[in-house]
Copies of this chain bind each other. A is one copy, B any other.
Amino acid sequence: MTVPCCTPQTTSPTPTESLAARYRAVREASVQLAEGLSDADATVQSMPDASPVKWHLAHTTWFFETFLLQPHVDRYRSFDARYAFLFNSYYESAGPRHPRPQRGLLTRPTLADVLAYRAHVDAAMLERCLPADLTHEIGTLVMLGLNHEEQHQELMQTDLLHLFAQNPLRPASRPALAHERPAGPLEWLAFDGGRHRVGHHGEAFAFDCETPAHDILIYPFALASRVVTNGQWRAFIEDGGYRTASLWLSDGWQTVGAQGWAHPLYWESQDSVWRSMTLAGMQPLDDDAPVCHVSYFEADAFARWAGKRLPTEFEWEVAARTRADRLEQLYGPVWQWTASPYIAYPGFKPAAGAVGEYNGKFMCGQFVLRGGSRATPAGHARVTYRNFFYPHQRWQFCGLRLAEDR
């Protein structure tokens, strides 16, 4: 998701008390993700798709300053007027902004400056904004700001991993995870066709791209009970998957050639042993663990090689709504590519105001991922959640689950 901000259609009724607590918790979680990082770690940008950790910390703060404090708090004094230019991501109506590919050139403000900026905004939010009798509009914006920040928490991890993976020293930013509990044996769960309701409805928070709820038709299909593993992916590699044109979409095959792809991002082979770069540094590849860091192009080619296909986002949602008990790894550890282009639901309406200025502007050329990943904050995702990336991107925690016609 290039710019992971969407406005909520509706917001859950949140008592002021708990909203302040939620605010504190989310804001604190972002800072914790930066613990142990040097000023330089938090500053460098390893590619235009990624942003520095420091930028994420500042941009999420800018959101509260720009959309809550400045319009709604009387005589709010901004921390530094120049930050509006530096930390706007893509809101045209919020004024000009610093070019995305140059985010990594901002050695100033320092990480310490940005943490001070966060403290300044947090104090104002907690003292001047949240204690008040919250209007529905303000409550909605705060909820949006927090969900927005949770999305950036995931990006902080994917972007940091990408940066560390470029460093020949292969640094680690946290201890290796204990091996995840292996998933159960692969089963195929069958689903009837028919008319189903999908999308978000009701008072709870959701991004507007999840709405409106509407009916869709699906045809009989089956879905794998678990996601594809590293071991399965090795078989694909060993069978020449990356060298067989007929398995690939035309654009995918061009990308394979141009980028020299021969395995998922971060995999390395030495003396026939595969290892992978992770946030815990280089780690042996676990055949039973989910394959991660594959693009849509690769997921699609793998499915064709396996004689299967990717599910549509609605097949995924219908299955998750009706048989979630039998589906493993639904909300992690990897996002699951679907066959569905990211487009508007029937009747989709852009929200009003600055935060909703561009609700649909990313609905072109990207594909939907469903579920969640090991980097997604707990409680962030849900059955209607739509993540989205371009088909060649693979630095996110992305995997796949197979489907087939019945």
Residues of A within 8 A of B (CB): 2-3, 38-44, 46, 82, 85-86, 90, 92-93, 98, 102, 104-111, 163-164, 166-169, 171, 195, 214-219, 245-246, 248-253, 296-297, 300, 339-341, 343-344, 346-347, 357-358, 360-365, 391, 405
Bound-state CA distance A105–B251 (Å) is 24
Q: Are A40 and B111 in contact (CB under 8 A)?
A: yes
How many copies the complex holds: the figure is 4
In the complex with contacts A44-B44, A341-B341, A364-B391, A169-B248 CB distance below 8 A:
no
A105-B167 contact in complex given A39-B38, A92-B246, C-beta closer than 8 Å: yes
Q: Is the CB of B167 within 8 A of A405?
A: no
In the complex, what distance in Å separates the CA atom of A340 from the CA atom of B340? 11
Q: Are B358 and A109 in contact (CB under 8 A)?
A: no
Partner of A40, one of B2, B3, B110: B110
Contact for A251 among B166, B218, B365, CB less than 8 A = B365
B357 with A246: CB separation less than 8 A: yes
Residues of B within 8 A of A360 (CB): 249
In the complex, are the beta carbons of A219 and B341 less than 8 A apart? Answer: no
Q: Which residues of B contact A251 (CB under 8 A)?
A: 364-365
Cβ–Cβ < 8 Å partners of A357 in chain B: 246
Subset of 5 A-B contacts with CB under 8 Å: A40-B110, A44-B44, A93-B246, A246-B358, A347-B405
Q: How far is the CB of A355 from chain B (nearest CB, A)?
A: 13
Q: Complex Cα distance A296/B363, Å?
A: 12
B347 A108 Cβ-Cβ under 8 A: no
Instruction: Specify the chain B residue showing the minimal Cβ separation from A346.
Output: B219
Additional 5 contacts, C-beta under 8 A, given A41-B107, A107-B171, A253-B361: A39-B39, A82-B169, A216-B217, A249-B360, A250-B358
What residues on B are CB-neighbors of A171 within 8 Å?
107-108
Q: Is the CB of B250 within 8 A of A361?
A: yes
Residues of B contacting A166 in the complex (Cβ-Cβ under 8 angstroms) = 102, 105
Q: How far is the CA of A220 from the CA of B35 in the complex (A)?
A: 53
The interface residues of chain B lying within 8 Å CB-to-CB of A361 are 248-250, 253
Within the assembled complex, what's the spacing in Å between the Cα atoms of A340 and B44?
A: 39
Chain B contacts for A296, CB-based, 8 A: 364
Distance from A64 Cβ to chain B, minimum over Cβ atoms (Å): 21
